[in-house]
Amino acid sequence: MLFEKIKSPGLAHNSYLIGDDGKAAVIDPRRDVEVYLDKSSAEGFTIDYVLETHRNEDYLIGSKEIARKTGAEIWRADDYLDYEYGQPMEEGEEIEIGRLLLEGLHTPGHTPGSFSYVLYGYEGEPWMVFTGDVLFAGDVGRVDFLGEEKLEETAGDLYDSIYDKILPLGDEVILCPAHGAGSVCASAIADREWTTIGIEKNLNPHLQYESREEFIEEVGQMLEYPPYFNRMEEWNLTGAPFLSEKKRPEALSPDEFADIQDEGAVVIDTRTEVSFAGAHIPGSLSIWKDNVPSFAGWFVDTDSPILLVSDEGYPEEEIKHLYRTGFDNIKGYLSGGMISWHMQARSSETIETIRVKELCEIMKGPKDCRILDVRSEDEVEEEGEIEDAINIHITQLPDHYEEIPENVKVYVFCGSGLRAMTAASLLKREGFENIGVTLGGLTGWRSSTCPRGETRSSKERGLEIADSLWLG
């Protein structure tokens, strides 16, 4: 038997490879499919089936590329959409994987045509359930894709899917969702690497309500919708262009790099926030390597030509992340990094940085500066707000540039300093010049001896108003 959970960090995406007696299936493969082909080949399996739980919005699915390499049958969900590949899954459809059996369960809510798959073991009893974006560890799928006016209906569908189809499988059944902690497909997935239906019944906050109505009320919320989701929705119906046919992003000399930037390419600098502060190419956007999957989709158009600056010889991880979310127009990367740039006597810029203790001292005196806090509303609510700060979540910043003062110094602030540098680079690109970045962010603040107010734990969330952190 073959069973592997394959995780894609950044996207917090889980896919699953299941095999028995030489036959294998993949559930919700990501776009770069070598991992499935390599793992199945190494164990002597051929992939015969690809099963999708729904039309995904947050990453590109690799079903067609697997089918092309292996001849696998694709079973897809959400048949109401105009798919250009695969055959539609149906309620009760059974797929044999050797002595194992996968059965389709129609579980609408996250999308109208979402499917979950029950895996029956050798003895014929439910062993695992692959719930896609219906039920996660500590959370449930978002239900806002059809718009605010449909929230009651979609949240109700999700409730029925969970309570009528998933939970009755039994407390002992292992739950295999399509996402782990950090995904944009739900608001607060728990850091619980393995879970069961019984554990979720006990611990999942959304399974503790007293009625279907209360579930609908709490779960039926509009969440943020990154612009790149549009590209995902389109390509996940047609099938994304095959990665195996793509040209490799080029190693570019500083001159070549500068020429492509001059023609309008977006420069994404994936080095740490302090490297970016020290010296960066004018006009470039700071998105730390591990944050590329979370933020490129907010600040870069999916069709834009892209250039990369990194500390790696070949920025492989960044390129993978971009491809997984449909940024296919990667022109290349700066060969030799910033060292080669400067050795060609090219210009670069810096961004002022400040440590939390220094900011604390400054704020004690006459305040001729402002703090721009780019943490999310949830973070501010849970971890405490900064007195007198301008609060704009980083993803909303491009719609709120007019709220940023230009006549005083603005210190950008986040949880650690990484997002603050992204925000600062956006502001600089917009022409703001009097910008500094707070290194360490709230975590640093808490570790320092600066006086601060009480913060409330996430347990108390929703029960009382957050106290302010105070300065001086």
Q: Residues in the site for a second copy, rule: CB under 8 A?
A: 1, 3, 121-123, 125, 127-128, 170-174, 190-199, 201-203
Nearer CB in complex with a second copy: 198/305:
198
* Least CB distance to a second copy at residue 166 (A): 14
Q: How far is it, in rounded angstroms, from Cα 17 to Cα 274?
A: 40
Nearer CB in complex with a second copy: 121/283:
121
Nearer CB in complex with a second copy: 138/436:
138
Are the CB atoms for 461 and 188 separated by under 8 Å? no
54 burial class (0-12, 13-18, 19+ CB within 10 angstroms)?
A: buried
Helix orientation angle between 34-42 and 63-70, rounded to the nearest 10 degrees:
40
* Least CB distance to a second copy at residue 442 (A): 17
| DSSP3 helix / strand / coil % (the chain, rounded to 5) | 35, 25, 40
Q: How far is it, in rounded angstroms, from Cα 246 to Cα 428?
A: 33
Q: How far is it, in rounded angstroms, from Cα 58 to Cα 226?
A: 9
Nearer CB in complex with a second copy: 255/460:
460
Nearer CB in complex with a second copy: 171/316:
171
* Least CB distance to a second copy at residue 40 (A): 15
Residue among 281, 275, 280, 279 nearest 259 (CA): 281
Residue partners of 42: CB distance under 8 A and separation at least 6? none
CB atoms within 10 A of CB 458: 11
Nearer CB in complex with a second copy: 1/237:
1
Nearer CB in complex with a second copy: 24/397:
24
* Least CB distance to a second copy at residue 6 (A): 14
* Least CB distance to a second copy at residue 121 (A): 6
**CA 185 from centre of chain:** 8
* Least CB distance to a second copy at residue 27 (A): 15
Nearer CB in complex with a second copy: 173/420:
173
23 forms bridges with which residues in the sheet? 20, 46
Q: How far are the Cα atoms of 227, 404, 418 from residue 333, in angstroms, in the given order?
A: 24, 32, 21
**CA 322 from centre of chain:** 12
* Least CB distance to a second copy at residue 461 (A): 15
* Least CB distance to a second copy at residue 100 (A): 11
What's the CA angle centered on 420, arms 351 and 438, to 5 degrees? Answer: 65
Report the SS3 class of residue 102: strand
Nearer CB in complex with a second copy: 85/194:
194
* Least CB distance to a second copy at residue 171 (A): 4
For residue 208, give both structure tokens.
Answer: 């503790």
CB atoms within 10 A of CB 124: 10
Nearer CB in complex with a second copy: 3/401:
3
CB atoms within 10 A of CB 63: 27
Are the CB atoms for 13 and 30 separated by under 8 Å? yes
* Least CB distance to a second copy at residue 193 (A): 5
* Least CB distance to a second copy at residue 347 (A): 37
Q: How far is it, in rounded angstroms, from Cα 420 to Cα 199?
A: 37
For residue 348, give both structure tokens.
Answer: 């670069």
Nearer CB in complex with a second copy: 182/241:
182
User: Measured between alpha carbons, how far apart are the two ends of the chain, in Å?
Assistant: 62
Report the SS3 class of residue 247: coil
Nearer CB in complex with a second copy: 85/122:
122
Q: How far is it, in rounded angstroms, from Cα 470 to Cα 376?
A: 19
* Least CB distance to a second copy at residue 187 (A): 17
Q: How far is it, in rounded angstroms, from Cα 401 to Cα 160?
A: 43
